[in-house]
Structure 1
Amino acid sequence: MIARYSSLASLLLTISLTCGISLADDADFKVGFAQKDITPQVATPMWGYGARRDMLSQGTLDPLMAKAIVVEADSVRLAIVGMDTGRAPTTAMMEQIRKTIREKANIEHLLIVGSHTHHGPVFELTDREGFGKGKFDAAIAYLKNLPEMLSSTILEAATTLQPARMGVSAADVPYNRNRHSKRKPPARDPQLGVVRFDDLNGNPLVVLVNFAAHPVMTDNKELKFSADYPGFMMNHVQQELGAPCVFIQGAAGDMSVNAINVSGPKAFGEQLGNDVLNLAKATETASPRRPSIQGRVDRFHFTTRIDLNNPSVMLAFSQAFFPELIRNFAEEYKDGMHPEICTVLINRELAIVGGSGEFFSNHAVRLRDRAYVKHTLFFGYCNGYMNYFPTIEAVSEGGYGADAPVSPAQIGAGEEMMNRALINIYTMLGKMAEGKPD
């Protein structure tokens, strides 16, 4: 077991800091922030545990928030949204949100990430007989309104844009473990990443936190909404730092929480938050020398390892979850799977890759190792949800997260998407032309 960092000094041993003298006009790089409570005010099926089937929510333990950061660099805009939900919005919702923010605020690039709390609402129900209509009408009404809630939060953040400085830091921490592999040592992504945005006087505007671990610390029998440990972490950081905090889940497909001498989501969230605070306070921010935002969205077509046209398969899934959910699931995958990878490069120093599913940790670790850029962050559960993407070697081990029922994409899909993201990074850096070495 990795020993817990006991002091700021030990954390600094593994920190990498953004530095550089401001050579650009301060107005060329701006940041804005807004947030909205998106907790359903109606009873709705809850996302995350099949054993709940279609049991309805029974209130709220703590609110579910959507937090939006809008970054503008040389007139190009990017929105990053962290949601206290099990997954990101559906493909149809994403199309609606993208259209709205592009038309109303000229925001070209978008990353919406679900924290993967297992105490949020189901997103997959639709307004059709047998797919939710007539049985879950209140939930469907909430889902119809969700894209507007998210769009309005992003648009509000765009109205608060102000000249800003940015810094990025990262440290390895011991707060997650591999819940899948029996290999020794098991794969793990120990990186805790922090992006700090300040005003021009060095006062923090907002802090983004990137970490990989399943938020499943709240009792699975509890039928109330909760952000789980990320919510407590964000509240703790905001209280201590005096600036809002946005949690972005990483490649947590095989990552569970590793709580050290604490128990429960609040204690663990604050434990993680203390390391976030150490990193954030140590991060040096600067106005970027070459402010820029570049981005690309790639959509893939993969075959599936399950036959959703088989009535026996559909019956088994319906019994494991509930029929209306599975009908929507089956329709989305009827002609194969179409996940997306979003690759963004900020100031040519920070690469962000977002994938629409539960990627295993080694995908993120290997991406960072292969991306010759100053900082690389991986966002899981981003811009949609296409179940698990295990590594090839994880599939060879089998088990939950790697077997076909919850990992239906063809073997090697995750690796193919990571390769495309890597090519995108080097292409945007000017190291390749159309994916080919110069």
Structure 2
Amino acid sequence: MCLTKLITSKIFKKYHKVRISTFLMVILCVLLLSVQTTFAGDFKAVVVKENITPKVPKQLLGYGARLSEGILDSIYHQILILDDGNSKFALVSTDICVLSPATYDKVAKLVEKKFGIVRSNFWWSVTHTHSAPEVGAPGLPEAFMGERYKHPIDTNYTDLVTSKLLDGIEKGIQQLAPASLGVGWGHSSANINRRARDIDDVAFLGMNPDGAVDRRIGILKIVHKEDHRLMATVANYAIHGTVLGGQNLLISGDGPGVVAKYVEEKSGAPMLFINGAAGNLAPIYSVYPDARSGRMNMLRRLLGDKILMASKEILNYEDQISFSASEMDFLTPMKEGLKWPEALNEYIVDEKGTAKTIKVPVRFLNINDKIGIWASPLELFCEISNEVRERSPFPYTFYYGYTNGWLGYMLTEEEWEYKGYEPTVSPFVPNAGTRFGETVLSYLESELKSK
């Protein structure tokens, strides 16, 4: 009996250990799966399109002060929501000209309060069409072009634009679906350097075929995870929204709007047009009195088809996505004699009560350590973003301009010598552009890459 009990006891202990080991293995597998679900990035995405076309005449922003007399084509918010399983990111493309950083700040607070999307994860970019209504207070343009803003601020339209944006984000969060992400490059010759110079070497707004240009298209392609049906295209290209000139009184998304509509019709999914470093880049057909004489529909062929072609060439997709967004302030002296708008006092540093320093907020987004996107509220000259892209540690580096507000033109130091329109309406000193590019590169190579 004693021997039997001993053998039975040993067998029970061995069996018990096996059961415990098996149980622990099961628990470990569950934990590992749980960690993967929470942190590895089961990617979800959605795009929501909201019509913001006004039903009554509105003051148009771009060129001189003028009241609209009708609608050429509708204008929209295109709202992209990304979710990597850890946080949500909202990218908005809106068919308006420029936006005050103060207006962005107000909306960003609402977005964070209502949806928990923090400021660094909410990017509001505008296409820079010159044929869309004003939104919010004028901001920095009032410092240079005060004669345009003798009329009251249109709070009704600003409220409409804000409510449509918030509604779109709310819908998007509810409609998030499993997705995969692809990335690629395209090329288009739809733009041209607009800093024309005669033999006197004084720049004027025209065409300079020998000037610097950026003709790359940066493509993000989002497809359904299961069947790879297209959900959205994000196309990043540098071009002014100025096919239509100051004589036009019809509301329009201009060239970017025409291209977005065309790509959506051909692909079956919405397209966000995100402008780039277009400070010195115009469409090759520019400032015409109407869309027909400006051949605005030609941009369907010149740019729309090139976006579609580049999108088709993207064959590799990832559904395990992680992203990290961050922000830094670039500090640079203000141009002497500039009267800074009080509404933008958050964007300056007052040193000893006299000399002022401008704070330019720059946003960054690291996606899977392969895509590095940076954005600023500037009309940046393309030479600066071109150099950042060439020297960037990320295989895909995109610059999103006109994002989260507008703080004027930032030129290369060389272009200041040729004077003209852009230096006149720039709040910066001549060497700001060089230092800005180097500062952004340093951030891409260190802080953003480490994330």
Q: Normalized against structure 1, the TM-score is what?
A: 0.79
Question: CA 1:33–1:167 in structure 2 vs 1: closer, same or farther (change >3 Å)?
Answer: same
Residue identity matched to 1:139: D
Contact 2:243 2:285 in 1 (8 A): no
SS at match of 1:158: helix
In the comparison of the two structures, how many residue pairs are matched?
382
Supply the distance in 1 between the matched residues of 2:246 and 2:150 (Cα, whole angstroms): 23
Question: CA 1:399–1:64 in structure 2 vs 1: closer, same or farther (change >3 Å)?
Answer: same
Residue 172 of structure 2 is aligned to residue 157 of structure 1? yes
Supply the distance in 2 between the matched residues of 1:256 and 1:64 (Cα, whole angstroms): 20
Supply the distance in 1 between the matched residues of 2:247 and 2:345 (Cα, whole angstroms): 27
SS at match of 1:41: coil
Q: Which 10-residue stretch deviates more, 134-143 or 191-200? A: 134-143
Deviation at 1:194, TM superposition (A): 1.4
Contact 2:81 2:173 in 1 (8 A): yes
Aligned ranges 1:37-436 → 2 under 5 Å:
37-49=51-63, 52-53=64-65, 55-87=66-98, 89-108=99-118, 109-123=121-135, 125=137, 136-137=151-152, 139-180=154-195, 185-200=210-225, 201-258=227-284, 263-289=294-320, 291-309=321-339, 337-401=358-422, 403=423, 405-428=424-447, 430=449
Higher relative contact order (CA 8 A, sep 6+): 1
Supply the distance in 2 between the matched residues of 1:39 and 1:303 (Cα, whole angstroms): 39
Supply the distance in 1 between the matched residues of 2:90 and 2:193 (Cα, whole angstroms): 31
Give per-residue Cα distances to partners, 1:84-133, cap 9 Å, x unaligned. 1101x322322222222223333231221111111012235379xxx99x
Contact 1:202 1:285 in 2 (8 A): no
Contact 1:126 1:140 in 2 (8 A): no
Supply the distance in 2 between the matched residues of 1:227 and 1:198 (Cα, whole angstroms): 26
Q: Which 10-residue stretch deviates more, 182-191 or 267-276? A: 182-191
Question: CA 1:248–1:98 in structure 2 vs 1: closer, same or farther (change >3 Å)?
Answer: same
Deviation at 1:343, TM superposition (A): 1.0
Question: CA 1:156–1:417 in structure 2 vs 1: closer, same or farther (change >3 Å)?
Answer: farther
CA-atom RMSD, angstroms? 3.1
Question: CA 1:337–1:187 in structure 2 vs 1: closer, same or farther (change >3 Å)?
Answer: same
Supply the distance in 1 between the matched residues of 2:333 and 2:101 (Cα, whole angstroms): 18
Residue identity matched to 1:283: I
SS at match of 1:353: strand
Deviation at 1:431, TM superposition (A): 5.2
Q: Which 10-residue stretch deviates more, 154-163 or 355-364? A: 154-163
The higher radius of gyration belongs to 2
Q: Which 10-residue stretch deviates more, 328-337 or 276-285? A: 328-337
Residue identity matched to 1:76: S
Contact 2:41 2:322 in 1 (8 A): no
Supply the distance in 1 between the matched residues of 2:253 and 2:275 (Cα, whole angstroms): 12
Supply the distance in 2 between the matched residues of 1:211 and 1:174 (Cα, whole angstroms): 11
Supply the distance in 2 between the matched residues of 1:277 and 1:426 (Cα, whole angstroms): 32
Contact 1:363 1:414 in 2 (8 A): yes
Residue identity matched to 1:362: E
Q: Which runs of 5+ in 2 are unaligned?
A: 1-35, 140-145, 198-207, 287-292, 351-355
Residue identity matched to 1:377: F
Contact 2:413 2:430 in 1 (8 A): yes
Deviation at 1:329, TM superposition (A): 8.2
Contact 1:124 1:329 in 2 (8 A): no
Contact 1:70 1:80 in 2 (8 A): yes
Deviation at 1:36, TM superposition (A): 0.9
Higher helix share: 2
Question: CA 1:363–1:355 in structure 2 vs 1: closer, same or farther (change >3 Å)?
Answer: same
Question: CA 1:299–1:144 in structure 2 vs 1: closer, same or farther (change >3 Å)?
Answer: farther
Give per-residue Cα distances to partners, 1:359-396, cap 9 Å, x unaligned. 00111111101111120111111111011111112223
Supply the distance in 2 between the matched residues of 1:332 and 1:221 (Cα, whole angstroms): 34
Question: CA 1:425–1:126 in structure 2 vs 1: closer, same or farther (change >3 Å)?
Answer: closer
Which residue pairs with 1:31 in the alignment?
A: 45
Q: Percent identity?
A: 24
Deviation at 1:263, TM superposition (A): 5.0
Give per-residue Cα distances to partners, 1:324-363, cap 9 Å, x unaligned. xx89789987955332211111121111111101000111
Residue identity matched to 1:279: A
Deviation at 1:173, TM superposition (A): 2.4
Residue identity matched to 1:373: F
Q: Normalized against structure 2, the TM-score is what?
A: 0.77
Which residue pairs with 2:6 in the alignment?
A: none
Give per-residue Cα distances to partners, 1:4-58, cap 9 Å, x unaligned. xxxxxxxxxxxxxxxxxxxx76962111111111223343321110xx23x3222
SS at match of 2:358: coil
Supply the distance in 2 between the matched residues of 1:240 and 1:184 (Cα, whole angstroms): 31
Q: Which 10-residue stretch deviates more, 299-308 or 59-68? A: 299-308
Residue identity matched to 2:234: L
Supply the distance in 2 between the matched residues of 1:197 and 1:165 (Cα, whole angstroms): 6
